[in-house]
């Protein structure tokens, strides 16, 4: 018999805020986090906009020592994890240390630190100038490991990587390990800091990026007829997960329950999704089967919704394939229209948005949706958040390069 898994803490740093509640406030207000790039001089680039974390000072958030020794993505993870730990009240001691896990991922890891170190060697021709902390800064698992060390958690600690679905897979893996009895509590999520010269230039070359530099707040338009592409973003999101028995035993506040997880691969193309959406549809159906639920029980869908030509139509087809005649009546929105696309971290952010939608009985908007693509004909909650009579159960979909498809189902905790 499997155990129930509940959420007892949430943490986030995003282009819209330094906490979960600050970010959510701007999400429900329909505010865009996209602005001109300040991380580097992008004046000669085709893409000169991104959704950066505003007023970021690593010394303030993680201290001078850690700021020197860690990549920005690891620092973001630390900030989000600390918020989740503080909200949850999770404690690690000799009695539960080996039953506490940390499953926190990243799609690209410390690429900005790698770039800075490589440029230093290139410019100075002196390999001795590389930081002695270079390898830990580059490691994709560095964020997860830092949190495990900070907590003293000696249970499972590793970093699944599934491109832009990474955060959702990390949550799903932690969910599986807890419900199967391999651990009792965990921190799960992802963090990214991909806004650096090669990251922007290389992704632009895939043809997926919006180049609407003169109107940053309108640069991401998921499901719109004239959608120009995605906008790079950064940040982190971490959830504290526990078995229901463990959470009850310590009197924890419960913010929701994870009830379904579906994950698979298109095995179709390295960057393009399967056009008919069947791979994504299968992941959605897997999550429903795992939760022992029917499509009629889903009150809101947080879409992957990148605003790219290939994704939005595919995702619409996938939802219609599974939900059938009910598809047009299920609100489905893209919060990436406001956060931008923080690669693997966005999937974890959106799991938190799902929980907040349940808490507030509210569907967040898809901003900048003035005219939908005829191929995208569902209810995308255009432009304005929608108060609903009740939101009991939410589906959060995440897809990634390489054909990764993940669907999570989160539900209001009912005791």
Enter the tokens of residue 2. 């499997």
Per-residue confidence (pLDDT) for residue 65, from 0 to 100: 93
Tell whether the model's pLDDT for residue 148 goes beyond 90: yes
Q: Does domain 5-249 have CATH number 3.40.47.10?
A: yes
d(CA 212, CA 196): 18
Mean of pLDDT values over 386-396: 98
d(CA 20, CA 235): 12
Q: 239 CB contacts (<8 Å, ≥6 apart)?
A: 7, 9, 10, 11, 84, 171, 187, 188, 189, 348, 351, 352
- Residue 325: pLDDT band by 50, 70, 90 thresholds? very high
Per-residue confidence (pLDDT) for residue 279, from 0 to 100: 97
Per-residue confidence (pLDDT) for residue 120, from 0 to 100: 77
Per-residue confidence (pLDDT) for residue 116, from 0 to 100: 83
CATH 3.40.47.10 placement within the chain: 5-249, 261-411
Per-residue confidence (pLDDT) for residue 211, from 0 to 100: 97
- Residue 1: pLDDT band by 50, 70, 90 thresholds? low
Per-residue confidence (pLDDT) for residue 129, from 0 to 100: 79
Q: Give the CA diameter of the chain.
A: 64
Q: Which residue has the higher pLDDT, 199 or 77?
A: 77
Q: If you ran DSSP here, which 8-state letter would residue 274 be given?
A: P
Active site residues: 164, 304, 341
Q: What digits encode the pLDDT tens for the residues 15-62? A: 999 999 999 999 999 999 999 999 999 999 999 999 999 999 999 999
Superfamily of domain 261-411: Thiolase/Chalcone synthase (3.40.47.10)
Q: If you ran DSSP here, which 8-state letter would residue 360 be given?
A: H
Q: Which residue has the higher pLDDT, 109 or 132?
A: 109
Q: What digits encode the pLDDT tens for the residues 269-290? A: 988 999 999 999 999 999 999 9
Least confident of 99-103, 157-161, 356-360: 157-161
- Provide the whole-model pTM: 0.97
Does residue 151 contact residue 92 with C-beta atoms inside 8 Å? yes
CB atoms within 10 A of CB 120: 15
Mean of pLDDT values over 335-344: 97
Q: Which stretch of DSSP H or E encloses residue 374?
A: none
């Amino acid at each position: 018999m499997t155990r129930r898994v509940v959420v007892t803490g949430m943490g986030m740093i995003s282009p819209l805020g330094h906490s979960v509640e600050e970010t959510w406030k701007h999400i429900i207000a329909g505010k865009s986090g996209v602005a001109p790039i300040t991380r580097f001089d992008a004046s000669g680039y085709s893409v000169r906009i991104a959704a950066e974390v505003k007023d970021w000072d690593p010394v303030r958030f993680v201290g001078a020592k850690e700021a020197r020794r860690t990549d920005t993505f690891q620092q973001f993870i630390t900030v989000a994890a600390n918020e989740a730990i503080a909200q949850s009240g999770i404690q690690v001691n000799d009695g539960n240390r080996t039953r506490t896990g940390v499953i926190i991922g990243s799609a690209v890891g410390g690429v900005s630190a790698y770039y800075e170190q490589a440029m230093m060697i290139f410019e100075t021709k002196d390999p001795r100038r590389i930081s002695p902390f270079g390898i830990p800064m580059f490691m994709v698992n560095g964020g997860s490991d830092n949190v495990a060390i900070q907590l003293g958690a000696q249970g499972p600690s590793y970093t699944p990587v599934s491109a832009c679905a990474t955060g959702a897979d990390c949550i799903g893996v932690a969910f599986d390990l807890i419900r199967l009895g391999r651990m009792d509590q965990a921190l799960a999520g992802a963090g990214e800091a991909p806004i650096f010269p090669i990251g922007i230039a290389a992704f632009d070359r895939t043809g997926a990026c919006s180049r609407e530099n003169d109107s940053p707040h309108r640069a991401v338009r998921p499901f719109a007829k004239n959608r120009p592409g995605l906008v790079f973003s950064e940040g982190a999101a971490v959830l504290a997960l526990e078995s229901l028995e463990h959470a009850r035993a310590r009197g924890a506040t419960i913010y929701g329950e994870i009830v379904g997880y579906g994950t698979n691969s298109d095995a179709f193309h390295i960057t393009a999704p399967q056009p008919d959406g069947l791979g994504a549809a299968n992941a959605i159906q897997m999550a429903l089967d795992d939760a022992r639920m029917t499509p009629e029980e889903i009150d809101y869908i947080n879409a992957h919704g990148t605003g790219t030509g290939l994704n939005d139509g595919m995702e619409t087809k996938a939802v219609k394939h599974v939900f059938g005649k009910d598809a047009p009546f299920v609100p489905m929105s893209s919060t990436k229209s406001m956060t931008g696309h923080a690669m693997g971290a966005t999937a974890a952010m959106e799991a938190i948005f799902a929980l907040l939608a349940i808490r507030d009985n509210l569907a967040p908007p898809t901003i900048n949706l003035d005219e939908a693509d005829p191929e995208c004909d569902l209810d995308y909650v255009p432009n304005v958040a929608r108060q609903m009579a009740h939101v009991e159960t939410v589906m959060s979909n995440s897809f990634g390069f390489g054909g990764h498809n993940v669907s999570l189902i989160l539900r209001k905790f009912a005791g």
